[in-house]
Amino acid sequence: MFEVYVAAKFEAAHRLVGDFGPATRMHGHTYRMEVIVRGQHLGDDGTLYDIGDLGLAVNDLAGSLDYRDLNEVSGLASVNTTAEAVADYCWERLAPSLRDRGLDSLVVRIWESRDAYAAREDGLD
């Protein structure tokens, strides 16, 4: 099994709703988004998936969240903007263009700091 990984970052504000102490105050993070695709076979060009192409998609997505208030982003405004929810949001936006490309699964990790992340991993079937 092979995998390809790319990372990007974005600066965003957010606040949680519920029993989350100081995280319910408006604050923000330098988020790091890590994206991994997995599959069984390399193509004739020696790639599982072009890292440059994956990087463009990931940077586009990160750019769409950069210097934003996540609580106002369409698709996140109706949910609690936990790292899990942001990972889920990013997973759903990346997955469509990665299907039917010979890939088995997709992982999206959203780091809120060097010491904490949440991730979603699921098949691309």
**The only residue of 65, 81, 90, 95 in contact with a second copy, by rule CB under 8 A:** 81
Phi-psi region of 76 (alpha: psi -120 to 50; beta: other; left: phi over 0): alpha
Tell me how far, at minimum, the Cβ of 73 lies from a second copy, in Å: 14
- Pick the closer one to a second copy by CB: 19 or 100: 19
Total residue length of the chain:
125
Q: Is 93 in the site for a second copy (CB under 8 A)?
A: no
Nearest residue to 2 via CA among 45, 51, 47: 47
**The only residue of 10, 80, 94, 96 in contact with a second copy, by rule CB under 8 A:** 80
Q: Is 13 in the site for a second copy (CB under 8 A)?
A: no
Please report where in the chains the tokens 């982003």 appear, as a residue. 73
